[in-house]
Structure 1
Amino acid sequence: MDKQNMRRRLNAARSRLSPEQLRHNAVKVRETLLEQPWVQMAGLVACYWSTGSEPDTHGLVFALWKHGATVILPVLRDDDDLDWAVYDGPDTLAPGRRGIMEPVDTRRGVEAIRTAALVIVPALAVDRDTGVRLGRGGGSYDRALARVGPNVPTVALLHDGELVEDVPHEPHDRPVRYAMTPSGLTSLM
C-alpha cells in the first residue's frame, strides 16, 4: 500500500472513534507515558498540541508542565519546517497558520529541538520493525527528528491498531524509538 492510501485508510479509522474512546485513549497514553522514569526526569520536552482525532496531548502537555518540565511546542513556519516556543499554560496558546494552537512565546528556532531530553511526535502509523512513522505528508516532523540526538527518546503517539507492519518509507523518513498506544509502550530500537 502506498503512503496516500494508507493515510486515507488510517484517517477513516480514526474518524470512527467515539469521543468516549478518544478520551479513554488519551488517559491511558498519558498515564502510561508519565509512569516512565525517563519521562519523569526529562527537563525539556518537545511535544505537540493535538488536533482532531489524533491521540490527545492536551492533558499530557499540561501534566508535564505542572510537574516542572519545560515543554516546547511546534510553530509551523511558512516553509513547513517547525520552529519551537515554550508552553506556559493553556492561556499562552493561539491559533497558528493552519488553525492548530501554538504558543505565543518567543520563537526559539528550528534547532531548539536539539536540546530536548524527550521528543513526542504525532503519527498516523509506525512500522513495528523499523520505527518509521507515517505522518500527514508535509515532512515537518521528519526534518525535526533529523535534528534530534541519537540517544534522545523519541515517542510517536498512536491509537491501538496503528503500530503496523510495512509502513511505506523513503530515505528522508525518520524512525522513532518508541510507539505509545493505549495498550502500552513499545520499544522499537
Structure 2
Amino acid sequence: MSAAKTALRDRVLTARRRRPLLERQEVARAVAEHLLASPEVRRAATVAAYVSVGGEPGTALLLEALRASGRRVLLPVLLPDGDLDWSRHEGDGHLRPATRGLLEPDGERLGPDAVAGADVLLVPGLAVAADGMRLGRGGGSYDRALARVPVDTFTCVLLHDDEVGLDVPREPHDRPVTAVVSPAGLRRLRPTGRPCPGG
C-alpha cells in the first residue's frame, strides 16, 4: 500500500513540476472562481484553507477574495507531531516562513479543534478518487483535520484536472472529502458512508 501511494505521489509531483507558469496562473484563477461561486462558500462565515506551495493549485487569489468578502479565514500551523493548529488569516503581511517550505500565519493559535467550527474546509492533495478518497503527501495532517469536522461539513480538495478520478490507494486512517475543484469545475463526490452535501 505504501509503495503504491509513493508511486502515485511521484507521478503527480513530476507532472506538477513540468507545468508552465502561465498554466499555473490560469489554474489558480479558475479554481478561485469555481469555489467563490459555489453555494457552500457563498453561505460560509468561516473557511479553513491553506497557503499553497510548489506546484499546488495556487490559493493566493482565493484567500484574498475570501478575506475581502468579510469571511473569517483560518490557516493551518504545522505542529511538531504533524497535527495542525489553526490561526486567523490577517493578510500576506502576517505570513511567516515555516518548516517544509510552508507559510504560516503569525497570529494567535486557536487550537487543533478550531477547524471543527469551519463551514468549509479546503484541503491540499495530490489526487482524489471518485468516492472522495484523497491522496495527500503522507504526513496524515489533513486526515486528522478531516476527522475533526462534522460529517455534513463541505470538505474540498484543490487539484489539477488530470489528478481527479484516479485510483487512490487507501488505508484505514485515510479520510475522504466531499468535493473536488479543478479548472474544469467543482464536482461533488459521494464518500463511502457519508451523505453528499449539495446533492
1:133 partner letter: R
Separation in 2, partners of 1:160, 1:30: 14
Q: Deviations over 1:104-155 (max 9, x none)?
A: 0010000000000000000100001x20100000000001100011111000
Structure 2 residue aligned with 1:181: 182
Separation in 2, partners of 1:27, 1:172: 32
Structure 2 residue aligned with 1:122: 124
Percent identical pairs in the alignment equals: 47
Does the residue aligned with 1:137 lie in a helix, a strand or coil?
Answer: coil
Does the residue aligned with 2:151 lie in a helix, a strand or coil?
Answer: coil
In the TM superposition, what is the alpha-carbon distance from 1:185 to its structure 2 partner?
Answer: 0.7
Structure 1 residue aligned with 2:32: 30
> Map of 1:41-80 to 2, 5 A cutoff?
41-80=43-82
Structure 1 residue aligned with 2:143: 142
Separation in 2, partners of 1:67, 1:131: 29
Structure 1 residue aligned with 2:193: none
Structure 2 residue aligned with 1:95: 97
Runs of 4+ in 1 over 4 A off after TM superposition: none
Structure 2 residue aligned with 1:156: 157
In the TM superposition, what is the alpha-carbon distance from 1:41 to its structure 2 partner?
Answer: 1.6
1:169 partner letter: R
Does the residue aligned with 1:74 lie in a helix, a strand or coil?
Answer: strand
Q: Deviations over 1:14-58 (max 9, x none)?
A: 111000000000000101110112201211110000001100011
Separation in 1, partners of 2:132, 2:146: 12
Separation in 2, partners of 1:152, 1:124: 21
Separation in 1, partners of 2:40, 2:135: 25
Confirm or deny that 1:82 pairs with 2:84.
yes
Stretches of structure 1 that go unaligned for 5 or more consecutive residues are none
CA contact (8 A) 2:127 2:166 kept: no
1:124 partner letter: L
2:173 partner letter: H
Separation in 2, partners of 1:59, 1:52: 16
**Higher normalized helix content (fraction of residues):** 2
Separation in 1, partners of 2:99, 2:106: 13
